[in-house]
Structure 1
Amino acid sequence: MPKKKEPTSTPVNKDPKKTTKPTTAAAAATPAASVTPAKAEAPKPTAKPASTKATKAPAAPAKATATAKKAIDSTATVVVAKYDVGFGNKLFIRGEGAGLSWETGVEMKNVENDVWVWTNNDLKKGAVACKFLINDDVWSTGENLFVPAGETSTVFPNF
């Protein structure tokens, strides 16, 4: 039959922040002033910790504007329409001036989910009057948009 282990005379201290008094007779004979509990030291990291500084992501409108600017020529007449036409749909522009017609629309370039751009590089064609259509079928509401030659106009059409 195996021997039973005798309990140790000093309890095991699992929490280094808590101190326990010695319970053995030899330890009890030692004056309390000479007993100093050991300070627990935190383990030192071996590698430099990753930065905890939060970085702020750019706002979505700034991204859309930056992308639209990439598609814009500074010497052109540009119309930027910000409208979500829905998946699979396209935005068209109709009007007069700069090669536009009221009878047939011109598909605008989609540069973001809800950003559409039409550009005309011929400044000799003059100002543009226009309206927007979804799939060259559904007209935007409100007045016509007028854009002087060589300028950029950003609009939020309603349908």
Structure 2
Amino acid sequence: MPPLSWHSGRPCANRAAGLWECTVTGIPDGRRFEYKVLVNDDIWSTGPNHVGVGGRTRHVRPVF
């Protein structure tokens, strides 16, 4: 899978009302990265970027 991009999204699964699970590979364990949730490569979540850490799971509830 290609690296993260600000131009297109990655597949995610909706696990509950407003709760999404996305898998990011290629980020070294412990390395921080910023991202936003993008629906259908068209609608960005509002507010500040989310911060993830390689090798960890983070649950987010994006607002659109």
TM-score, normalised to structure 1, is: 0.33
Q: Which one has more relative contact order, counting CA pairs under 8 Å at least 6 apart?
A: 2
Structure 1 equivalent of residue 59 of structure 2 = 154
TM-score, normalised to structure 2, is: 0.70
> Counterpart of 2:58 in 1: which secondary structure?
strand
In structure 2, stretches of 5+ residues that fail to align are: none
Pick from 24, 45, 64 the counterpart of residue 120 of structure 1. 24
Would you say how many aligned residue pairs link Structure 1 and Structure 2? 61
Deviations 1:97-124 (A, max 9, x none): x82001111121x253534211234452
Normalized per residue, which structure has more helix? 1
Q: Name the % identity.
A: 34
Distance 1:137 1:147, change over 3 A: same
In structure 1, stretches of 5+ residues that fail to align are: 1-97
- Whether the 8 Å contact between 2:37 and 2:62 is mirrored in structure 1 is yes
Normalized per residue, which structure has more strand? 2
Larger Cα Rg: Structure 1 or Structure 2? 1
Deviations 1:21-43 (A, max 9, x none): xxxxxxxxxxxxxxxxxxxxxxx
> Distance in 2 between the 1:106 and 1:118 partners?
8
> Counterpart of 1:152 in 2: which secondary structure?
coil
